[in-house]
Copies of this chain bind each other. A is one copy, B any other.
Amino acid sequence: LSDLANSLDQARHWFVRYHSRQLIYDEGEAANAIFRIREGCVRLQINGRNGHRQIVAFLFPGDVFGVCALERTSAAEAVTDTELVRYSMQSVLQLSAHSRELVVQLIQSANGQFNHPAHHVEHVAHLPAAERVLWFLTWLAHRQGRRTGETVRRDVGDFLALSPETLSRVMRELKAGGLVSPRGRRAFAIRQPLVELRAGAEAAGERPEESRQNYG
């Protein structure tokens, strides 16, 4: 249990459940609670009027989300069946008046949320499809603390701003290149040494073109 979770648990809270695909809150709603994930996966997303959906974050057990002051700035939906802890915003604020630690942790949390989409912009804007996918898979595997990760195709596409077709093609290439091995239907394993090699190459400032050849 994280520090923030510990601090928060002193505020008024209770458990809530959401089934897969259920809306937790919508963009623009009043923010009257913050959440912590106990079990499952949640996505934060922005729905464009042109039918495009942009997922800005995937959240996993232990993550705190919904730290908003007034309005929800994005929608939150359950990816899988989830169990959350819901903390009353009112109560959290009261508590924060007495706990400097909590304030730091809250700000840190809000800040982490900034960090993520900021870099997300950079990746989506400047990385070719294959690298975006690899970046995501690596992150996912890391985030889940193992070498493999569960993915739902459509969601990955909407996160990386790739069409399902492109994603499919890229995955084919990655498999052909041996960088990713399928593990059943939706799980996969990343060839760790290669990923590290790539990361090293990137840091050394090599041209993306060179490394991209490795996939095909």
* A binding-site residues for B, Cβ under 8 Å: 44, 46, 48-50, 52, 54, 56, 67-70, 73-74, 93-94, 96-100, 103-108, 110-115, 117-122, 124-126, 161, 202-203, 205, 207-208
Contacts and interface: CB of A to CB of B under 8 A. Distances in A.
25 contacts: A46-B119, A46-B121, A46-B122, A49-B202, A50-B126, A50-B207, A52-B122, A52-B126, A56-B118, A56-B122, A69-B107, A69-B108, A73-B118, A73-B119, A74-B118, A93-B100, A96-B96, A97-B98, A106-B107, A107-B107, A110-B113, A113-B114, A114-B117, A120-B121, A124-B125
A50 B208 contact: yes
A104 B74 contact: no
Count identical subunits in the complex. 2
Contacts of A207: 50
Contact of A103 (B103, B124, B205): B103
Contacts of A113: 110-111, 114
A106 B49 CA distance: 31
A203 B114 contact: no
Given A73-B118, A111-B113, 4 more contacts: A50-B126, A54-B125, A56-B121, A68-B107
Contacts of A124: 121, 124-125
Nearest to A119: B46
A103 to B, nearest CB: 5
A54 to B, nearest CB: 4
B104 A161 contact: no
